[in-house]
Amino acid sequence: MLLECAGLTMRFGGLTAVDAVDLKLEKGQIMGLIGPNGSGKTTFFNMVSGIYKPTAGEVRLSGRNIAGRRPDYVASCGIARTFQNIRLFSGMTVWENVMIGRHCRMRQSILDDILGTARKQAEEKAAQEYLTGLLTLFKMQHMLHEQAKNLPYGKQRELEIIRAMASEPELLLLDEPAAGMNPQETAELIEFIRKLRDMGVTILVVEHDMKLVMNTCDRIAVLNNGRKIAEGSPREIQTNEAVIKAYLGKKVKEGA
């Protein structure tokens, strides 16, 4: 198991946002996490990525418990994420953004950096090689010097995913990657995620866009009111009674 969450719980004062959720994810899998607004998906993400300290429960990455550790530690263990409301380093270039994404994989010491030693040069060069390959794969190699804030919306979303990929994570968390996208951009994003799957990346994705979820995910877990009410293949979820009831019997919403 790559990721194992057991009894993960988050309470804010009297409100229980996530209530004893268990979740398992195998290497190479893409799992969708869906549920109505306020069902605790983003809170769940924030616990796994270290931004919130869980009230109770465990998060195991390849067997190691990382619950309650700081985000930078979690990142160096191999979990990368994107944000629902894009958080790029907006005044910096595309290149700088991905270089920062690679921060925790670069091994030079502070002294190497200040003195500009050969070790620093070698680390920078290795990073540049990897990142040039990554950016070329996702067709962004021609916009390296563009400021992140000047990119079109869809490209900003993609850049945020590439930045997360820069650290060669074991597990990639995508928080509503299709939010605010038009159908054309969403179609491109689906292609993008399939490419990631072909690379063998393990992904946990929160998404409202059912087209994206059904087309990319191997398994889907459904949260409602902070509890996991169902888990299974996309087909099983589409016919699951509890899920349909959670969405108030409405036809499953597209877009969001």
Partner 1 sequence: MLQEFIQQIVNGLVLGSTYTLIALGLTMIYGILGIVNWAHGELYMLGAFAGLYLAVVLKLPFIVALLGAMIILAVCGMLLERLVFRPLRQAPELNMIIGTLGISIFLMNTAIVLFSPNPLSFPTEYSNEYLSFLGIAITMQRLLVFFITVVLIALLNYLIKYTELGKAMRACEQNPDAARLMGIDINRISLVTCAIGAALAAAAGVLVGPIFLVSPQMGLLAIAKVFAVVILGGMGNVEGAIWSAFILGLAESLTAGFFSSDYKDIITFFILIAVLIFRPQGLFGNNVIEKV
Partner 2 sequence: MRSEWIKYAATGAIILLALVFPLLGVKSYYLHVAILGLLHAILALGLNLIAGYTGQLSLAQAAFFGIGSYVSALLMLNVKMSFWLAAPIGACAAALVGILFGLPTLRLKGPYFVISTLGFGEIIRLVFLNWESVTRGPNGLTGIPAPDDVALGFVTLTFDTKTGAYYLVLVTLLAVLALYYNLVYSRIGRALRAIHSDQIAAEVMGINLTFYKVFAFALSAFLSGLAGALYAGYIRFISPDTFTIGEAVNILIMMVLGGMGTIAGPIIGAVSITYLLETMRVFADYRLIIYGLLMFFIILYMPQGLVGVLAMAKDFLAARFPLPISRGTDEPPGQKGAAPVKGEI
Is 72 one of the binding residues for partner 2 (CB under 8 A)? yes
d(CA 177, CA 164): 12
Out of 167, 202, 216, 224, name the contact with partner 2 by CB under 8 A. Answer: 167
Is 29 one of the binding residues for partner 1 (CB under 8 A)? no
Q: In terms of DSSP H, where are the helices of 78-137?
A: 94-101, 110-115, 118-137
Q: Please, what's the b/e burial string for 155-179 (b: 16 or more CB within 10 A of its CB; e: otherwise)?
A: bbbbbbbbbbbbbebbbbbbbbbbb
Closest distance of CB 128 from partner 2, Å:
4
Out of 39, 48, 50, 52, name the contact with partner 1 by CB under 8 A. Answer: 52
d(CA 47, CA 38): 15
Phi-psi group of 88: left, alpha or beta (phi > 0 → left; psi -120 to 50 → alpha; rest → beta): beta
AA identity, residue 151: L
Q: Which stretch binds partner 1 (CB under 8 A): 45-53, 103-111, 228-236, 237-245?
A: 45-53
Nearer to partner 2, 147 or 215 (CB): 147
Is 82 one of the binding residues for partner 1 (CB under 8 A)? no
Chain positions contacting partner 2, by CB under 8 A: 49-51, 70-72, 75-76, 80-81, 83, 87-93, 95-96, 99-101, 103-104, 106, 108, 110, 113-116, 120-121, 123-125, 128-129, 131-132, 141-142, 144-145, 163, 167
